[in-house]
Amino acid sequence: MSANDGDDFIRTEIEWIGVPLKERKPFLGLCLGAQMLTRHLGGRVEAHPEGRAEIGYYALHPTPAGERFAAETGAFWPSHVYQWHREGLDCPAGAELLAQGDDFPVQAIRVGPAAFGFQFHPEVTHAMVYRWTTRGAERLEMPGAQPPAMHHRGRFMHDAAVAAWLHAFLDHWLAAGSGKPPRSVRPLCTP
């Protein structure tokens, strides 16, 4: 699926994103959801100019805004995240770029206090990796895609850091919509 598809349900969902944005309520878009958020804001979603894909674990680089977000929330970015996409997004007007990647530069954006779009998949489970690399095996032949062994090895190398980041992020994100302070945020120490 693509945020550029002409299906009615895609257009309806893209349009609906305006509701939580207007109400400043929590919205979290993962991969396709981040692309839909981008399209709602008037941004572009496009294939990589060299036909590359990100399928496997890839480096994540927080921007200065992403570093500030991590310091404020305790959600410290993992070094690598799981990806499964062949289209990327730009950072649309009204969004703040929080993290970047190498082949697909825009990896994490924030809009207002509680709307986020992540190009990557922090929700992926061990079973999902096996299912995706089996049922979507043809995509593993795309330029830039990693072989299945690297997906499985990456889980052992990176998932603990992704899980720690995700739990801290979710505490912050859900608290932002409820008006309550996040549970996992610790006070910052200053020298």
Catalytic, out of 31, 85, 91, 158: 31
Catalytic, out of 15, 46, 123, 141: 123
Q: Is 31 a catalytic residue?
A: yes
Q: Which two tokens stand for residue 80?
A: 């690598």
Please tell me whether residue 39 adopts helix, strand or coil conformation: helix
Contacts of 120 (CB under 8 A, 6+ apart): 30, 31, 58, 60, 81, 82, 83, 107, 108
Catalytic, out of 121, 151, 158, 172: 121
- Name the helix (H) or strand (E) containing 106: strand 106-111
Token pair 């830039």 in the structure block, residue: 144
Q: Is 123 a catalytic residue?
A: yes
Q: Is 121 a catalytic residue?
A: yes
Active site residues: 31, 121, 123
